[in-house]
Amino acid sequence: MIILGLTGSIGMGKSTTAALFAEEGVPVFDADAAVAAMYAPGGEAVPLIARAFPGCADEATGVDRAKLTAALQADPSKFETLNAIVHPLVGQARRRFFHEAEDAGAPLVVLDVPLLFETGQHDQVHHVVVVSAPEAVQRDRVLARPGMSVDKFEAILARQTPDADKRARADHVIDTSQGVDHAREQVRALLDALKLSGDAQ
């Protein structure tokens, strides 16, 4: 089974591109969705975060992302604590996903991981696909989001590998600056190329 690692900086269109792979029948593991489930009431991460970040989570309401973000901004060293909680749980969810995809006979799967390079997971995939767009397009998209500010945007960027570095290290780049239809054509072309090369058989 071939594993595509899909990544891209904030505002680049990664989630849309992941949905395009799913449209083509490719199983997609969404790391963000896995974390959201863990943060929800009853989620695996809730009691662990409640202990490590007092006041930021409880069993009834799950993880309060606003409070957790504030705690991390107040003490950025706490990111290591959070990662030590979340990454093993995401790893377990990913392994379950792989088993289910293999049982279903899927020739190819996509791992949608925002911090693919930052967490070293690019070494665990067969092909790295980077979703990209010009900086001005990225900035406009992100600042149009509710509750987003320039400071918050720049703080997020500071924790991410620069787009130029990601593109340089990618096996394939999907350009989302020309709309969904153009991105869909690129996704289909990539899947066709993998099939022709025998990688997705």
Same domain, 64 and 130: no
Same structural domain for residues 41 and 78?
A: yes
Domain of 173 in residue numbering reads as 1-27+107-201
Average pLDDT, whole number, for the chain? Answer: 93
What percent of the chain shows pLDDT beyond 70?
A: 97
Q: Check whether residue 73 and residue 131 sit in a common domain.
A: no
Rounded to whole angstroms, what are the CA distances from 39 to 35, 46, 59, 69, 126? 6, 6, 10, 13, 30
Q: Note whether 61 and 141 are within 8 A (CB).
A: no
Q: Are residues 2 and 99 in the same domain?
A: no
Number of CB atoms found within 10 A of residue 59's CB: 11
pLDDT of residue 111: 95
What is the arithmetic mean of pLDDT over 188-198? 85
Dump pLDDT digits (tens) for 1-30.
999 999 999 999 999 999 999 999 999 999
Q: How confident is the model at residue 115 (pLDDT cuts 50, 70, 90)?
A: confident
Asked which of 74, 105, 136 is the last residue of a domain, the reply is: 105
The phi and psi torsions of 115 (rounded to 5 degrees) equal -105, 50
Are both 2 and 36 inside the same structural domain? no
185 and 119 together in one domain: yes
Do 91 and 64 sit in the same domain of this protein? Answer: yes
119 falls in which pLDDT band (50, 70, 90)? confident
What is the pLDDT at residue 197?
A: 66
Task: Tell me what the mean pLDDT of segment 124-153 comes to.
Answer: 94
Average pLDDT score over residue span 153-177: 93
Write down the pTM of the prediction. Answer: 0.83
Whether residues 88 and 111 fall in one domain: no
| CATH code of residue 114 | 3.40.50.300
Q: For residue 201, is pLDDT > 70?
A: no
Domain final residue, candidates 46, 74, 105: 105
pLDDT tens track for 57-78: 999 999 999 999 999 989 999 9
When divided into structural domains, the chain yields a total of 2
Q: Has residue 128 got a pLDDT over 90?
A: yes
Q: Looking at the structure, tell me whether residues 96 and 120 fall in a common domain.
A: no
Tokens of 158: 């500071």
Q: Give yes or no: residues 129 and 189 share one domain.
A: yes
Does residue 114 sit in the same domain as residue 192?
Answer: yes
Same domain, 47 and 60: yes
